[in-house]
Amino acid sequence: MPEGLEAEIWTRAAQAVVGREIAKVWCDERVAPLGFVESSTGATIEKVRRCGKVVVIDTDGSSLGLHFGMTGRLEIDGTAPIPRLEYASGRDRAEWDRLRLWTVHDHQTSLSTAPALRMNDPRRLGKLTLDADLSGLGADCLTLTSDELTAGLGRRRVAIKSALLDQRVVAGLGNLCADEVLFHAGVAPRRPADSLTPEEIESIGAQCRRCLPRLLAAGGSTHGELSPEVRSAAGPCPLDGAPLARMAIGGRTAVWCPTHQR
């Protein structure tokens, strides 16, 4: 469930660790490449940035990638910028930790303190990467232009919802944000991508730039009109009161309004 917006929240909070030296690293070897601990220990964190849904920690050696899967979450200096993920367990068990990374800095020289970065992932669908090639990602969802979306879609004939979830088309969109953007753009999720008019593509790009920063400011991808409560009830459309529709598209549940989304 963590989407680009959640990764953006963690990336912003993780700016606190920039400039620090990594003192010690522990990781769950089942989700990390060989050499992850050796490559990161002793390195200095130079930059923390987001690529789509991935948080990338650039050091003076390797770049460490944090991929959150369906239930991954991040704590920075013992604090969770997002306290609880929707659809994930509200519990926090140490055996679900996949990364613990301690740093050395002025006020924290003891390894007994909370890790500077701690990734916890109950379902273990996330992973850690070293120097991952993320060049295949599409344009970022928060700044998407209609030209970028047109180029990303190419001649794809799949449902527009499926195309928007393809990270090569747009980077950072997940299930909730894709539904939210289509809801505001007035485009039905089942529409074949190659049937969209230039105006509809423009509208989807505009809604990415308009809706997503608003959701980000509100706390993330669950704060839209199609909130988890509205989605699970499949009640009336928040805009026009018509009954919402819900069905699986590309293996993910799509929620939309058949009245104003055409």
Query: Which residue in 37, 43, 134, 239 binds Zn ion (CB under 5 A)?
Result: 239
The beta-strand segments (E) located in the chain are 21-27, 45-51, 54-59, 63-67, 73-76, 97-104, 117-120, 127-130, 139-140, 170-171, 245-249, 252-256
Is position 225 an interface residue for Zn ion (rule: CB under 5 A)? Answer: no
Query: How far is C-alpha 160 from the geometric centre of its chain's CA atoms?
Result: 19
Q: State which of positions 31-70 bind Zn ion (CB under 5 A).
A: none
Which C-beta is closer to Zn ion: that of 108 or that of 259? 259
Nearest-approach distance from CB 240 to Zn ion, in angstroms: 4
Structure tokens at 55: 């948080």
Is position 257 an interface residue for Zn ion (rule: CB under 5 A)? Answer: yes
Query: Which residue in 108, 150, 253, 259 binds Zn ion (CB under 5 A)?
Result: 259
HSE value, Cβ hemisphere, 13 Å, CA-based, for 203 = 16
Nearest-approach distance from CB 261 to Zn ion, in angstroms: 7
HSE value, Cβ hemisphere, 13 Å, CA-based, for 166 = 18
Query: Which residue in 112, 240, 248, 251 binds Zn ion (CB under 5 A)?
Result: 240
Report the distance separating Cα 183 and Cα 92, nearest Å. 34
Which C-beta is closer to Zn ion: that of 76 or that of 226? 226
Which C-beta is closer to Zn ion: that of 40 or that of 261? 261
Choose one: 107-115, 171-179, 231-239, 245-253; the region binding Zn ion (CB under 5 A): 231-239
Is position 260 an interface residue for Zn ion (rule: CB under 5 A)? Answer: yes
Which C-beta is closer to Zn ion: that of 133 or that of 240? 240
Q: State which of positions 60-119 bind Zn ion (CB under 5 A).
A: none
- Phi and psi at 199, nearest 5°, equal -65, -40
Q: Decide if 141 contacts 173 (C-beta within 8 A).
A: yes
Neighbours of 28 (CB within 10 A): 19
> Using CB under 5 A as the criterion, what x/- string covers residues 179-218 for binding Zn ion?
----------------------------------------
Which C-beta is closer to Zn ion: that of 95 or that of 240? 240
Q: Decide if 132 contacts 65 (C-beta within 8 A).
A: yes
Q: Decide if 234 contacts 246 (C-beta within 8 A).
A: yes
Which C-beta is closer to Zn ion: that of 76 or that of 237? 237
Report the distance separating Cα 26 and Cα 102, nearest Å. 9
Region label for 54, one of left (φ > 0), alpha (ψ between -120 and 50) or beta (otherwise): beta
Choose one: 128-136, 163-171, 186-194, 250-258; the region binding Zn ion (CB under 5 A): 250-258
Query: Which residue in 57, 237, 249, 255 binds Zn ion (CB under 5 A)?
Result: 237
Question: What number of chain residues touch Zn ion (CB under 5 A)?
Answer: 7
Choose one: 5-13, 188-196, 227-235, 240-248; the region binding Zn ion (CB under 5 A): 240-248
Residues in touch with Zn ion (CB under 5 A): 237, 239-240, 242, 257, 259-260
